[in-house]
Chain A
Amino acid sequence: MILTKEQQAILDGEKGETLAKVMKTIVMYGEAFEAEKLVPVTSKYNHLVTSFGLKVMAPVYDLMQQLLDAGVFSEQQFSVDPRPLDKNVPANFLQNLVFNKFMYTKQDFYEKQLEKLGLMSKDAFTCTCYMDEMGNIPQKGDVLSWAESSAVVYANSVLGARCNRNSGIIDIMGSIVGYVPYFGLLTDDGRRATWVVKIQTTKKPEAQLLGSAIGMKVMEDVPYVVGLDKWIGTELNDSAKAYLKDFGAATASNGAVGLYHIENLTPEAVEMGEGLITEGAKEYIIDDAELERVQKNYPVIWKNPDAKPKLCFVGCPHLSLQQLKDWTESIEAELTRNGNKKVVIPTVFTAAPKVLEAFEKTEYAARLKNAGVITSYICPLMYMNNPLCKKMPVITSSNKLRTYTSARYYTDSEILEIITGGRK
Chain B
Amino acid sequence: MKTFKGRVITPGEVTAEAVVTTQGFNTLASFQMALQFGDKQVKCGDQNNSELHGKPLIGKALCLPQTIGSTTGGLVLYCACSMGKNPACMLFSGHIDSLAAAGAIIADVWVDGVNMPVIDSLGDEFLAYVKDGMEITVKADGTVEVK
| Chain A residues proximal to chain B, CB less than 8 Å | 21, 24-25, 28-29, 32-33, 49-50, 54-60, 62-63, 66, 103, 147-149, 152, 164-170, 184, 220, 253, 256, 299, 301, 385-387, 404
Contact = CB atoms under 8 A, between A and B. Distances in A.
A117 to B, nearest CB: 15
Contact of A33 (B70, B98, B103): B98
Given A29-B101, A404-B28, A168 B36 contact: no
Interface string B88-123: 000000001111011101101111000000001000
In which size bucket is the chain B interface?
Answer: 35 or more
Given A147-B71, A168-B71, A56 B35 contact: yes
A21 B32 CA distance: 27
Interface stretch (B14-22, B74-82, B125-133, B134-142): B74-82
A49 B73 CA distance: 11
Given A167-B98, A387-B33, A256 B68 contact: yes
B72 interface: yes
Contacts of B106: 25, 63, 167, 169-170
Contacts of B79: 56-60
B109 A167 contact: no
24 contacts: A28-B105, A28-B108, A29-B102, A32-B96, A32-B120, A50-B75, A56-B36, A57-B79, A59-B111, A62-B82, A63-B110, A66-B110, A149-B71, A165-B99, A166-B71, A167-B71, A167-B75, A168-B71, A168-B74, A169-B75, A170-B98, A301-B47, A387-B33, A387-B37
Given A149-B70, A166-B98, A169-B102, 7 more contacts: A25-B109, A29-B98, A29-B105, A63-B106, A166-B71, A168-B74, A404-B70
Nearest to B27: A167
Nearest to A301: B47
Nearest to B101: A32
B78 A256 contact: no
Interface of B: 9, 28-29, 32-33, 35-37, 47-48, 68-75, 78-79, 82-83, 96-99, 101-103, 105-106, 108-111, 120
A231 B102 CA distance: 39
B75 A168 contact: yes
A415 to B, nearest CB: 23
B110 A21 contact: yes
B109 A169 contact: no
Contacts of B111: 59
Contact of A59 (B33, B83, B102, B120): B83
Shortest Cβ-Cβ A-B pairs, 7 listed = A167-B74, A167-B102, A59-B82, A168-B75, A32-B101, A28-B105, A147-B71
A166 B74 CA distance: 9
Nearest to B48: A299
A169 B74 contact: yes
A251 B55 CA distance: 29
A59 B78 contact: yes
A103 B78 contact: no
Contacts of A57: 75, 79
A168 B98 contact: no
A347 B32 CA distance: 27
Contacts of B33: 387
A33 B101 contact: yes
A166 B33 CA distance: 23
